[in-house]
């Protein structure tokens, strides 16, 4: 990990939506500085989660950095609404768009961080042309759509590739990973070069979330 500390971003996907105030407070009390918000449309991924109203309601309850992950078709339609709702970063899937660079420009024009994400079957080579333009690369280490899945080991190599490319070309994007990160796998992604790791089930289903976050960030 080259001595750097990775950020743990609790994923609201694994929270109890009926007690969202309590769940947000749980993340704050644990010492989290990011919250990961998975927006799913039932088309790009099988499940449906929430839209701009939930993001706006969460924004009213916390000052934490809101990392909004658009797992949707036509993500360009949600850029401005999500910024207005309070997103601090917007990440879209390159598989869901044709004109990816245009969306990158539209996100950056809103003065929030811009991220791109790829699913496990998509190679890093597909996003090489965008790496100098974005702030965040999100590697999906499970097939998106459901929480509680096991990390796919081959996805760790993508983190290594992105870390190598970043150093080779003197770029500053953050590398994030989402899916199956827990006490058994967090060291793998950290050693590969991750800056941010999303923890859903590992955090919100823990008996002591504060202790879990501390352990995950220090392993």
Look at residue 219 in the predicted model and tell me its pLDDT: 86
Is 67 known as a binding-site position?
A: no
Q: Give 3-state DSSP helix, strand, coil % of the chain, rounded to 5.
A: 45, 20, 35
Is residue 134 one of the residues assigned to a domain?
Answer: yes
Look at residue 2 in the predicted model and tell me its pLDDT: 47
* Cα separation, 132 vs 78, whole angstroms: 23
User: Can you list the positions of beta strands (E) in the chain?
Assistant: 7-10, 34-40, 65-71, 89-93, 113-118, 136-140, 174-178, 196-199
Q: Is 92 helix (H, G, I), strand (E, B) or coil?
A: strand
With contact defined as beta carbons under 8 Å apart, do 196 and 7 qualify?
Answer: yes
Is 173 known as a binding-site position?
A: no
Look at residue 120 in the predicted model and tell me its pLDDT: 96
Active site residues: 38, 178
- DSSP H/E element including 52: helix 52-61
Is residue 2 one of the residues assigned to a domain?
Answer: no
| Confidence category of residue 3, pLDDT binned at 50, 70, 90 | low
Is 208 known as a binding-site position?
A: no
Is 121 known as a binding-site position?
A: no
Q: Read out DSSP for 98-126?
A: S-HHHHHHHHHTTTSEEEEEE-TTS-GGG
Percent of the chain residues topping a pLDDT of 90? 94
Is residue 16 one of the residues assigned to a domain?
Answer: yes
pTM confidence score: 0.95
- Count Cβ atoms within 10 A of the Cβ of residue 170 and give its class: 0-12 exposed, 13-18 middle, 19 or more buried: exposed
Is 141 known as a binding-site position?
A: no
Is residue 195 one of the residues assigned to a domain?
Answer: yes
Is 57 known as a binding-site position?
A: no
65: β partners: 34
CATH number for the domain harbouring residue 37:
3.20.20.70
Q: How many CB atoms lie within 10 A of CB 112?
A: 19
Q: Is 41 helix (H, G, I), strand (E, B) or coil?
A: strand
Is 117 known as a binding-site position?
A: no
Q: How many domains does the chain have?
A: 1
The whole domain housing 51 covers 7-218
Is residue 1 one of the residues assigned to a domain?
Answer: no
Pairing between strand 7-10 and 89-93?
unpaired
Query: What is the chain's mean pLDDT, rounded?
Result: 95
| Confidence category of residue 1, pLDDT binned at 50, 70, 90 | very low
């Amino acid at each position: 990990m080259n001595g750097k500390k990775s950020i743990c971003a609790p994923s609201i996907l694994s929270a109890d939506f009926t007690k969202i105030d309590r769940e947000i407070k749980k993340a704050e009390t644990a010492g989290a500085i990011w919250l990961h918000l998975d927006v799913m449309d039932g088309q790009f991924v099988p499940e449906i989660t929430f839209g701009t109203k939930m993001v706006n309601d969460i924004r009213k309850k916390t000052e934490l950095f809101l990392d909004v992950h658009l797992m949707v078709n036509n993500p360009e339609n949600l850029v401005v609404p999500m910024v207005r709702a309070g997103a601090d970063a917007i990440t879209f899937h390159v598989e869901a768009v044709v004109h990816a660079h245009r969306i990158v420009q539209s996100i950056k024009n809103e003065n929030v961080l811009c991220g791109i994400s790829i699913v496990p079957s998509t190679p890093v080579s597909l996003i090489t042309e965008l790496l100098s333009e974005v702030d965040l690369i999100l590697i999906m280490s499970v097939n998106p759509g459901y929480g509680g899945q096991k990390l796919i080991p081959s996805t760790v190599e993508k983190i290594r590739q992105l870390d190598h490319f970043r150093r080779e070309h003197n770029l500053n994007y953050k590398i994030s990973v989402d899916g199956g990160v827990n006490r058994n796998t967090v060291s793998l992604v950290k050693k590969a070069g991750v800056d941010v790791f999303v923890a859903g089930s590992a955090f919100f289903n823990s008996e002591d979330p504060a202790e879990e976050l501390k352990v995950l960030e220090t392993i």
